[in-house]
Amino acid sequence: MILQRLDTIRKIEVVIIVALAIVLLIVPHVAGTATVTMVSRIMIFAVFAMSYDILRGYVGVIHLGYALFIGGGAYFVGILFTQFGVGIPMLLLAVVGTSVYSAIWALIVGKISGKSGMIATAMITMAFAEIMRSLMTSWFTVTRGADGLPFRVPPPFNDRTMMFYASFIFMVIMAFLLYKFTKSPTGRVWQAVRENEQRAIFLGYNTNRARTIALLVASVVGGLSGVMFGLLNRFVNTDLLDMQMTINAMLYSLIGGTGTLFGAILGSALVVYFQNLLLDLRGVHFIFERWLLFIGALYIVVVMFMPRGIMGFYYDWKDKRAQKKRLLQEAKLPPQLNDEA
Amino acid sequence: MRNMKHESLFKLAVIFLGNIILRTEGLSIEFGALKAVNNVSLSIKADKFTAILGPNGAGKTTFFNLVSGLYKPSAGKVFFKDKDVTGYTPQQRIHAGMGRSFQLTNVFPALSAHENVRLSVQSAAKVKFTKLFKSYTRYTDIFEETDRILKRILLHDKADVRAGNLTHGEQRKLELGMVLAQKPEVLLLDEPTAGMSIEEVPIMIDLLKSIKDTGETTIVLIEHKMNMVKALSDVIVVLANGELLCEGDPETVSNDPAVMAAYLGGGVVHVAT
Ligand SMILES: Nc1ncnc2c1ncn2[C@@H]1O[C@H](COP(=O)(O)OP(=O)(O)O)[C@@H](O)[C@H]1O
Ligand SMILES: [Mg+2]
């Protein structure tokens, strides 16, 4: 199978991406508030899932406490706004606080994953999120626990259209940054660590450092998606620190295609849209309240027909086409040219 | 006391008589009751092709695992260019100039052959992890070096193929290319022809010869069949049951009765050609 050609983005792909971006930018002018909010949520969750994919799909860390970041970011916004006042300075403080908080978790998890294996890391990170959740539950006077914390947000984020554009810009910047990182020399080492860590070590790489850098990148971006989600949702409760949030990130990137980065955007769009559809259908029949059941079915269908997710399916198709082309070319060459000079 | 004096005199003699690049001193490791490597003291001369021979289970791979830092020895020391590297991590040993390949093919199966080699070149080039914003394709020198190595290991036309889809023999060559990319001063090769087809073996042997002839690196090669390495080696070392059995030039070693016994005992009958 041919791989190098995958690294080059084709013209048609650029056209599709630009067309999709234009369609997205028109949404707030033609759709109702509910749709605008839903698409905003998709874009923010897409960033959350893309950052998760850096860990799961690129460097090969299974982080089961990933809710720590979306929950953490949203709590920073919620607590700062309710305790110290709503405003841009507090928002900036939330961004800085979330980044530091996420980076600290990244360093802790980096240490653990360097010492213990993948499974132990998965279990311990799950426990971390649970601890954070019970902390936020017990800090009731400030967080109001599971009841949650409603808050106002400063302009321009209090306007749905502006919030939509903010989410769009956020997604574009983060997608671009994460893409850049995966195409950097370090990003290539992440894949080597995922594929065969022992071999990466014997190429001379400090794999623990490479993994910690991936954790830093992913955790901080994940945390920032939490800040954005806080701004959009204007409400935070302990559900945001629940395992369900981690499962969501996992689901979005799996359906979109693990290790494909942009797949997470597709996965997030598909699942969130599907969820909303099911919620709307609640009135039709009570079975639609069991939305998780349907998401599970969607997941099974996608994985059955596209085991590597939507983007993975597309890449495999591209792979096969390039291979066919190569075989055709080889057939045309006189045999001695195929020999090594 | 007397003994120690003798030992240091001996060491001195060794240092002056030949340029020792790699040396082990009483290297040992046990797995439970099994003494897989037992008190092995060995000196590898630079610019000499050394083959470590021994029947399956003799402890050859384990010896490499100790030298390369994958395992920690229970006793003994490893010296590289007269520096004690026993406490070094595998990465530190690599960057010091010790490269190794693996007996069981050990590549990145989902990455292209090109990328497998390129990653190795990148590591040798010591590109910093903080270079997050620069595309890896912009390191043209790394790409050029990668192409050079792919040509050298005769995999240039397979550059774009996923390593996992290469034939076994091609994967062995790739593995060799990945070690070569590190420009090691000493090259530890663990049965580079293991599992290769009859047609592929001579290609690998020729490849090894050409590497030897460049004189850029000292090759230490593990093999379990004598006939494979007899023509190629300057020095043959025989391991059996974790112990150093004998050491010398190919002719002497292959006629050594103890070696014959070990080989017949180990069930390998490929002695003398
Ligand atoms: N990690 C390990 N744990 C337990 N036993 C091992 C391990 N590695 C090697 N051995 C044992 O040590 C002995 C030597 O193995 P090895 O070095 O692979 O032999 P060789 O490479 O000479 O064929 C064998 O009996 C093998 O089963
Ligand atoms: Mg072996």
Per-residue pLDDT tens digits for A137-155: 999 888 888 889 999 999 9
Which residues form ligand 1's pocket by a CB distance below 6 Å? B 31, 34, 36, 54, 56-62
Q: Is the pLDDT of residue B191 over 60?
A: yes
Contact B108 A1 (CB under 8 A): no
What is the torsion angle, in degrees rounded to the nearest 10, for the CA atoms of residue A196, residue A199, residue A203 and residue A205? 50
Q: What's the pLDDT tens digit per position in B18-57?
A: 689 999 999 999 999 999 999 999 999 998 999 999 988 9
pLDDT digits (tens, 9 = 90+) for A291-332: 778 888 888 888 889 989 999 999 889 888 887 887 888 777
Q: Where are the beta strands (DSSP E) in chain A?
A: 149-150, 235-236
H/E element holding A187? helix A185-195
Average pLDDT over residues A99-110: 98
**Is A157:A227 a contact under the CB 8 Å cutoff?**
no
Q: Supply the DSSP symbol for A242.
A: S
Read off the pLDDT of each residue in A10-17 and give the average, rounded to a whole number.
Answer: 86
Which is higher by pLDDT, A284 or A23?
Answer: A23
The interface pTM score, or ipTM, of the predicted complex is: 0.86
Calpha distance A260→A307 (Å, rounded): 13
Read off the amino acid at residue A81.
Answer: F
pLDDT at A262 over 90: yes
**What is the pLDDT at residue A341?**
38
Structure tokens of B21?
Answer: 């690049």
Nearest by CB to residue A199, choosing from B106, B154, B165, is: B106
In the predicted structure, residue A335 carries a pLDDT above the cut 70 = no
A-B C-beta contacts closer than 8 Å:
111
- Say whether A84 sits in a helix, a strand or coil: helix
Pick the CATH number of A4-333 from 3.30.230, 1.10.3470, 1.10.238, 2.30.30: 1.10.3470
| Residue A104, token pair as written in the block | 């600290």
Which pLDDT does position B11 carry in this prediction?
63
3-class SS of residue B36: strand
Integer Cα distance of A229 and A111 in angstroms: 29
The pLDDT confidence band at residue B264, using thresholds 50, 70 and 90, is low
Interacting residues of B159 by C-beta distance below 8 A, sequence separation 6+: A4, B112, B113, B114, B147, B150
First-last CA distance in chain B: 46
Q: What is the mean pLDDT of residues B99-124?
A: 94
* HSE of B44, CA atoms in CB hemisphere, 13 A: 29
Helix axes A67-84, A207-233, angle to 10 degrees: 50
Q: For CA atoms B83, B87, B90, B91, give the dihedral sign.
A: negative
Q: Are A72 and A132 in contact (CB under 8 A)?
A: yes
> b/e per residue, A214-249, with b = 16+ CB within 10 A?
bbbbbbbbbbbbbbbbbbbbbebbbebbbeebbebb
- Mean pLDDT, chain A, integer: 90
Q: Name the closest residue on chain A to residue B106, using Cα atoms.
A: A199
Q: Which residues of A touch B139 (CB under 8 A)?
A: 185
- Give the residue extent of every domain in chain B: 104-182
pLDDT at B266: 46
Structure confidence at residue A192 (pLDDT): 96
Alpha-carbon distance of A121 to A24, in angstroms, equals 38
Could you tell me which residues are beta bridge partners of residue B44? B22
Single pTM value for the model: 0.88
The backbone torsions φ and ψ at residue A223, rounded to the nearest 5 degrees and listed phi first, read -60, -45
Compute CA distances B62 → A133, A286, B36, B103, whole Å.
Answer: 47, 64, 7, 11
User: CA–CA separation, A83 vs B232, rounded Å?
Assistant: 78
What tokens does B97 get?
């100039």
pLDDT(B64) > 50: yes
Q: Quick one: what percent of chain B has pLDDT higher than 90?
A: 67
CA distance B20 to chain A (A): 23
pLDDT grade for A12, boundaries at 50, 70 and 90: confident
**In this structure, which amino acid lies at residue B231?**
A
Phi then psi dihedrals of residue B182, to 5 deg:
-80, 0
- A chain contacts of residue B122, beta-carbon cutoff 8 Å: 185, 188-189
| Dihedral angle sign, alpha carbons of residues A176, A181, A183, A184 | positive
Collapse the DSSP code of A52 into the 3-class scheme (helix H, G, I; strand E, B; otherwise coil) and give the result.
Answer: helix
Tokens describing residue A132: 């954070």
Q: Enter the tokens of residue B192.
A: 């580079």
Give the minimum alpha-carbon distance from B70 to chain A in angstroms, rounded to a whole number.
9
Backbone CA torsion sign across B194, B195, B199, B200: negative
| Residue B248, φ and ψ in degrees, nearest 5 | 165, -170
The CA distance from B197 to B191, in Å, is: 13
Question: Is residue A324 within 8 Å of residue A3, measured between CB atoms?
Answer: no
One-letter identity of residue B74: S
* Confidence band for A219, pLDDT divided at 50, 70 and 90: very high
Which residues are B51's β-sheet partners?
A: B221, B236
Asked if the model's pLDDT at residue A288 lies above 80, the reply is no
Residue A78 has pLDDT above 70, yes or no: yes
Name the amino acid, one letter, at A50.
M
**Selected residue of A6, A189, A198, A202 to mutate for chain B interface (largest B Cβ count, 10 A):** A202
DSSP string, B65-116: HHHHTSS--SEEEEEETTEE-TT--HHHHHHHTEEE--SS----TTSBHHHH
Ligand number with the minimum distance to the CA of B190: 2
The shortest CB-CB distance from A1 to any of B114, B139, B162 is to B162
> Is B265 a residue whose pLDDT tops 60?
no
Give nearest CA residue, ligand 1 atom 16: B59
- Number of Cα atoms under 13 Å in the Cβ half of residue B113: 28
C-alpha of residue B124 to centroid of ligand 2, in Å? 26
A217: closest chain B residue by CA? B132
